[in-house]
Amino acid sequence: MDTDDRLMQALAEGDPTAFDELYGRHSRAVFGFLISRVGDYHAAEDLLQAVFLRVLRERKRYRGSGRFTSWLFTIARNLALDHLRRRCRSLEVTADDDLVISGRPGPDRDPRELAAAAEDAAAVHRALELLPEPQREALILRRFSGLSFAEIAEVQGQSVSSAKMRVFRGMAKLREILAPHVEEV
């Protein structure tokens, strides 16, 4: 199996299968990060395409001096921040804006189950919005996108210990916020 750096080198040399492999490896995690950041399924899909378009455009400039995933998530982070800035300037926020689509109806999905999942996702999304930005981003990168602490530190331009502390404090605050919503089993 090729490393991400080797795939980027192959992509720079014109191998289209390298792009397919990189997209297959990372698109799901990047999409999870984006939807957690922007809270809109369709916007996250568009941003995912923009991220990988940027990978394609920057393929010859990529040097592999850091981790590929850190570089990739830095692109995703910057595009998500740009999107949020544009959205804040151009749209009026409504109560419905913080709903997150957590599943799509299917023939064997119970509508009550879908409603409960959507309600849970909305509660988590609202709770995430209450966290300080650095904690929220570190937590999303760790829990929803699966990045290592070293990768989070690289994306955020901080030390590994700062990344760990942000995730730890973010999780503690998230538990505290969501505690009233969690039923005792």
Q: What is the DSSP string of 50-112?
A: HHHHHHHHTTTT---SS-HHHHHHHHHHHHHHHHHHHHHHH----GGGG--------TT--HH
Are 42 and 128 in the same domain?
A: no
Domain count, the chain: 2
**Per-residue pLDDT tens digits for 131-164:** 888 888 888 888 877 788 988 888 888 999 999 9
Containing structural domain, residue 141: 109-185
What pTM, to 2 d.p., does this model score?
0.60
Are 171 and 133 in the same domain?
A: yes
Are 21 and 63 in the same domain?
A: yes
Among residues 62, 96, 130, the one where a domain terminates is 96
Are 11 and 90 in the same domain?
A: yes
**Per-residue pLDDT tens digits for 87-105:** 655 433 333 333 333 344 4
Residue 103 lies in a domain: no
